[in-house]
Amino acid sequence: MKFQAPRGTYDILPKEMNKWYYIEKIIKKYVKLFNYREIRLPIFEYKDLFQRSVGDDSDIVEKEMYVFEDKNERLFALRPEGTASVARSYIENSMISSKRDPKKIFYYGPMFRYSRPQKGRYRQFYQFGIEYIGDESAYADAEIITMGWKILQEAQVPDVSLEINSVGCKKCRKDYHKKLQEFLFARENKFCPNCQRRMKTNPLRVFDCKNYVCQEQLENAPQMLDNLCEDCEKHFDEVQENLKKLNVDYEINPRIVRGLDYYTRTAFEYKINYLGAQDALGGGGRYDGLIEYLGGKNTPAVGLSMGMERIILALEEAGVEFPQINTLDVFIIPMDKKYDDKAIEIMNKLHDSEISAQIADANTSMGSNFKFCDRNNVKFAIVIGENEIKSEEYAVKNISKHKQESVHLDKLTDYINSKIE
The pLDDT tens digits of the residues spanning 72-93 come to 999 999 999 999 999 999 999 9
CA distances from 255 to 138, 146, 206, 364, 389 (A): 20, 21, 10, 63, 74
pLDDT at 319 over 70: yes
pLDDT at 180 over 90: no
pLDDT at residue number 47: 93
Mean pLDDT to the nearest integer, 54-66: 75
CA gap 57, 413 in Å, rounded: 63
Task: Say if CB 83 and CB 116 are below 8 A apart.
Answer: no
pLDDT at residue number 260: 62
> With bands split at pLDDT 50, 70 and 90, how would you rate the model's confidence at 157?
very high
Helix (H) or strand (E) holding 372: helix 366-375
pLDDT at residue number 326: 72
pLDDT at residue number 282: 92
Task: Say if CB 381 and CB 373 are below 8 A apart.
Answer: yes
CATH number given to 14-157+252-317: 3.30.930.10
pLDDT at 375 over 70: yes
pTM attached to this predicted model:
0.87
pLDDT at 277 over 70: no
Mean pLDDT to the nearest integer, 35-53: 93
Per the prediction, the chain carries an average pLDDT of 89
Q: What is the DSSP string of 147-209?
A: HHHHHHHHTT-TT-EEEEEE---HHHHHHHHHHHHHHHHTTGGGS-HHHHHHHHH-GGGGGG-
pLDDT at residue number 130: 97
Q: Which long-range contacts (CB under 8 A, 24 or more apart) does 89-92 make?
A: 89/39, 89/41, 90/133, 90/291, 90/296, 90/299, 91/291, 91/294, 91/295, 91/296
Domain spanning 330-420: which CATH class is it, in words? alpha beta
pLDDT at 393 over 80: yes
What confidence tens digit (pLDDT) does each residue in 395-407 have?
Answer: 899 988 888 888 8
Measured on CA atoms in the order 382, 386, 391, 392, is the torsion positive or negative? positive
Q: Which residues contact 195 (CB under 8 A, 6 or more apart)?
A: 184, 206, 209, 211, 214
Helix (H) or strand (E) holding 26: helix 17-33
CA distances from 319 to 156, 158, 313, 322 (A): 11, 10, 10, 9
Measured on CA atoms in the order 126, 97, 56, 181, is the torsion positive or negative? negative
Higher pLDDT, 177 or 304: 304
pLDDT at residue number 56: 65
What confidence tens digit (pLDDT) does each residue in 222-275 have?
Answer: 888 888 999 999 999 999 999 999 999 999 998 887 756 678 899 999 998 876
Which residues partner with 330 through β-bridges?
A: 357, 380
Task: Say if CB 264 and CB 169 are below 8 A apart.
Answer: yes
**Count of helices and strands (H, E) across the chain:** 15, 16
Mean pLDDT to the nearest integer, 383-389: 89
What confidence tens digit (pLDDT) does each residue in 109-154 have?
Answer: 999 999 888 777 899 999 999 999 999 999 999 999 999 999 999 9
Question: What is the DSSP pairing of strand 380-384 with strand 330-334?
Answer: parallel
> With bands split at pLDDT 50, 70 and 90, how would you rate the model's confidence at 276?
low
> With bands split at pLDDT 50, 70 and 90, how would you rate the model's confidence at 285?
very high
Taking the domains of the chain in order of start, what are their residue ranges?
14-157+252-317, 330-420
